[in-house]
Amino acid sequence: MSTATPSPTSPPLAKQTTVGNYFVSNYPPFAYWKPEFVPGFLAALERPPTPTPSTHFALRPSDIEPRPSPLALRPSPFAPPLGVYAHIPFCRKRCHFCYFKVYTDKDSQAIRAYLDALLKELTIYAGKPFVHGRSPRFVYFGGGTPSYLSVDQLRFLTDGMKRLLPWDEVEEVTFECEPGTLTDHKLAALRAIGVTRLSLGIEHFDDHILEINGRAHRSKEIARAYAYAREVGFPQINIDLIAGMVEETEDQWRMAVAKTLELAPDSVTIYQMEVPFNTGIYQQMKAEGKLVAPVADWDTKRRWVDYAFQELERAGYTVGSAYTAVKDKTRTRFVYRDYLWAGADLLSIGVASFGHIGGTHYQNQHDFDAYVAPLAGGQLPVYRALTPTEDERYIREFILQLKLGSVSAAYFTRKFGEDPRVRFAGPLATLRDGGFLQPNGDDGDRITITRQGLLQVDRLLHEFFKPEHRGDRYA
């Protein structure tokens, strides 16, 4: 582990896990998205998309290495790639570490009302000049637990979505699942619907760890769901793990990595446990007057992820970002991530969901009734928005792509008109001084962070923020 002195601007190299957000998923921080900026978002929807060269969205696995992307060779499309995200906020049980908007008490009538609301929302978008006539390139079902829906509910939702925005140009359909909700019948239906990437929220294989962390599933359900999913033949099966769950020991983490390797999924995603304010774990800490969360400290979590990456690499996997490893990098892609991190448009539907349209960020109302009610009156349920400046867009894209471990300076110079080695000279020097930046490669184009940098990249990204956006936490 590096012992480099923390910089004065990034969150300190914390030892213990205390309450707050660690993961950086967007920029500028959400605290700067405001209800008063919603009119700017609504105005953006009334304009057709700005014609954009396809090379501005050429961030693909093939672009991460210095060779041409297939997308870059296509004729320039008129608009940036468009994705659709559908938020399904239902779960069997609320995990103690969960900080998402989820409901565990909705009956089939309430779920049907929610699905109707999703389709109403998409109908409004489909009629807007910004969206009209465009086809999504990727579709993502997240939550919550999308696999909580029944086969009939799933067909109703996806048939409706396809009628509004056909999926004939879709390159990837991702579907998040909780293993205990999957049957062979449902998995076959998901594949028939067009899901290409099944993402299994396994988190751990040890029944005690699953139970003490409030997960609904157990190891038996993992084995059964994984075997069914393989039989059905999804192009990509991803396993999610969390390093540093409550009560987890070093041996249990090693066991989780070994079990993952036994299953040989196409990709593995590993998150380091964080404890945001709205989690059950924090509620208990508060009740007990504790400041330190009962989970592994940050040094341990980084070491565990490092161990997992090394084991995966030994088994032939390639580490492709701070959180992911893929078995075969020539065929396994994360289309939604690579398009989004290159600034693609994301039509996000559902309660509390986050989207990005024509250069404007938005988030929907975060309560069930507040989300459904405006749609009944034909209004979009947008709660807050923000249109970043050109410089903030540059920062956003640069920090998101830095999570891949290596970025092309030429790509950013082409897109934003300024070499990132000049624009970000200060923060890059800080990373270099801390031992987190690799020396320039042969072609001098790549900006590459070290494995130790990658393991704590979310902390380091604050270096690149504008001064007014810097702080201890990202909430």
At closest approach, how far in Å is the CB of 144 from ligand SF4?
Answer: 5
| Residue written as token pair 């900006």 | 447
- Give the Å distances, CA to CA, from 399 to 393, 395, 404: 10, 6, 9
Name beta bridge partners: 141: 86, 175
The DSSP-derived string for 45-60 is HTSPPPP--GGGG--S
Question: Considering beta carbons, is residue 90 or 474 the nearer one to ligand SF4?
Answer: 90
The span from the CA of 228 to the CA of 224, in Å, is 6
At closest approach, how far in Å is the CB of 216 from ligand SF4?
Answer: 7
Q: Cβ distance 236 to 266 under 8 Å? A: yes
The interface with ligand SF4 within residues 198-217 (CB under 6 A) comprises 201
Binding piece for ligand SF4, criterion CB under 6 A, among 114-122, 137-145, 233-241, 444-452: 137-145
Instruction: Using CB under 6 A, pick the residue from 18, 94, 164, 303 that binds ligand SF4.
Output: 94
The end-to-end CA distance of the chain, in Å, is 27
Question: Considering beta carbons, is residue 102 or 296 the nearer one to ligand SF4?
Answer: 102
Question: Considering beta carbons, is residue 94 or 393 the nearer one to ligand SF4?
Answer: 94
At closest approach, how far in Å is the CB of 179 from ligand SF4?
Answer: 10
Instruction: Using CB under 6 A, pick the residue from 38, 45, 95, 270 that binds ligand SF4.
Output: 95
Counting contacts by CB under 6 A, is residue 102 touching ligand SF4? yes
Question: Considering beta carbons, is residue 171 or 203 the nearer one to ligand SF4?
Answer: 203
The span from the CA of 121 to the CA of 115, in Å, is 10
Looking only at the bridges linking them, the beta strands covering 82-88 and 345-349 are parallel
Counting contacts by CB under 6 A, is residue 295 touching ligand SF4? no
At closest approach, how far in Å is the CB of 245 from ligand SF4?
Answer: 11
User: Which residue of this chain has its Cβ atom nearest to ligand SF4 in the complex?
Assistant: 98
DSSP 76: P
Binding piece for ligand SF4, criterion CB under 6 A, among 92-100, 128-136, 397-405, 415-423: 92-100
At closest approach, how far in Å is the CB of 88 from ligand SF4?
Answer: 9
The interface with ligand SF4 within residues 140-169 (CB under 6 A) comprises 143-145
| Residue written as token pair 């099966």 | 237
Backbone phi, psi, residue 324, to 5°: -125, 150
Q: Which of 235, 226, 233, 176 is nearest to 205 (CA)?
A: 226
Question: Considering beta carbons, is residue 96 or 137 the nearer one to ligand SF4?
Answer: 96
| Residue written as token pair 């480099």 | 4
- Residues 6+ away with beta carbon under 8 Å from 22: 272, 274, 458, 459, 474
Question: Considering beta carbons, is residue 221 or 445 the nearer one to ligand SF4?
Answer: 221
The span from the CA of 106 to the CA of 94, in Å, is 13
Counting contacts by CB under 6 A, is residue 260 touching ligand SF4? no
The interface with ligand SF4 within residues 62-91 (CB under 6 A) comprises 91
Interface with ligand SF4 (CB under 6 A): 91, 94-95, 98, 100, 102, 143-145, 178, 201
